[in-house]
Each structure stands twice: as C-alpha cells, then as structure tokens.
C-alpha cells in the first residue's frame, strides 16, 4: 500500500497547476522536499478558495504581527511549473491553513476525500509547511492558472465552451 501521509516541514518548493484543455483540465497541488515530490489532485474551486483564504490569512497575520517583514509574491512561470511525472498520491477533499509562529511558516493541510466517514483516519493526509512568500506566490499563481480556463458567460455565469453554449438567460440561444 503506497504511503498516504506526508509531512514536508519545510517544503523546498510548492506550486499548483493544471493539465488538459480548458473544460477538461485536472488541477494539482504539488510540493517537493529534497527529492521527494507529492502531488495531490484538487478542484479548480479549491485553488480559488485557497488563494482567497491565503490572501485574507496573510492580511490578518500582518495586522496581528506588524513586525513581520512583508511576504513577496514574486515568481516566474518556469519555477512554478509542475514537476513530472505527475503521479497523484490522492484527491484532496478538505484543505486548511495554519501558522507556526516559532518558525514563521504557513502550513497547508490537505485530507483525502472520503466517501466513508469511518475511513477518515485511514485516508491520506498531507502537511506542507512553507514560508509566507512561498504561499503568497502559490496563491497568486493558482489564481492565474484557474483563470486560464473557459470564459464565463456574462448572462448566466456558466463557462462558454469553444463551440459556445446554450444560455438559459437568453432562452437557450447559443452564445
């Protein structure tokens, strides 16, 4: 049985990415410590929620601890690329954030999605400890990746495929 518990404290690198054409992309959260790489499957909405959560969390942290130096969101596209081969350990269900004041690191905690509540203890768990700058770069890059998908219909809010879509707000007329 493959290992499903990972505790990278600290990570050397953390990123997110997507593979596939818009509308059929699979999203990933990936971390590396030394030569060990862990990749998790996540949903697009999880990337977006994580990014918003990180921004709010870091803002609150800056208000509570004004003596902390500002985090940098600097990154390059090349350094944020997913490492291959992509071999997901599990699909993440719950994703949370925490902060360790002593090390000044943010932790992302991801639990494997489970259909059976009694199996929750047996499911996968990943904890990725990163600097505030690494997490902020992950957040900004994650939003960029999520926004590379299909455009959103201004009438109904649904994604528009390359061949268009039937818009309920326009009485089903193809847009």
The domain spans of the chain are: 5-170
Place of tokens 């390059």: 76
Q: Is 3 exposed, middle or buried (0-12, 13-18, 19+ CB in 10 A)?
A: exposed
Architecture of domain 5-170 in this structure: 2-Layer Sandwich (3.30)
Task: Quickly state the pLDDT bin for 167 (edges 50, 70, 90).
Answer: confident
Evaluate if residue 111 carries a pLDDT over 80: yes
Whether residue 114 has pLDDT greater than 50: yes
pTM: 0.84
Over residues 105-126, mean pLDDT = 82
- Among residues 126, 135, 134, 130, the alpha carbon closest in space to that of 7 is found at 126
Q: Please state, for a pLDDT cut of 90, what percent of the chain lies above it.
A: 72
Regarding predicted confidence, which is higher, 51 or 151? 51
| pLDDT of 22 | 83
User: What pLDDT, on the 0 to 100 scale, is given for residue 1?
Assistant: 47
* Contact indicator for 109, 95 with CB cutoff of 8 Å: yes
Residue 152: predicted pLDDT: 75
Whether the predicted pLDDT of 157 surpasses 80: no
């Amino acid at each position: 049985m493959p290992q499903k518990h990972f505790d990278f404290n600290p990570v050397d690198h953390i990123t997110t990415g997507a593979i596939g054409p818009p509308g059929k992309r699979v999203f990933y959260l990936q971390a590396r410590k030394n030569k060990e790489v862990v990749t998790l499957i996540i949903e697009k909405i999880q990337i977006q929620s994580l990014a918003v959560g990180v921004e709010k969390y870091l803002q609150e942290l800056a208000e509570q601890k004004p003596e902390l130096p500002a985090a940098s969101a600097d990154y390059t596209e090349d350094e944020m690329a997913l490492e291959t081969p992509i071999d997901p350990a599990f699909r993440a269900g719950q994703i949370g954030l925490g902060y360790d004041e002593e090390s000044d690191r943010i932790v992302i905690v991801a639990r494997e999605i489970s259909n059976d509540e009694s199996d929750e203890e047996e499911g996968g768990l990943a904890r990725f400890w990163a600097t505030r700058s690494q997490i902020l770069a992950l957040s900004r890059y994650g939003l960029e990746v999520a926004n590379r998908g299909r455009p959103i219909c201004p009438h109904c809010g649904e994604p528009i495929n390359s061949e268009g879509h039937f818009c309920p707000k326009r009485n089903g007329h193809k847009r």
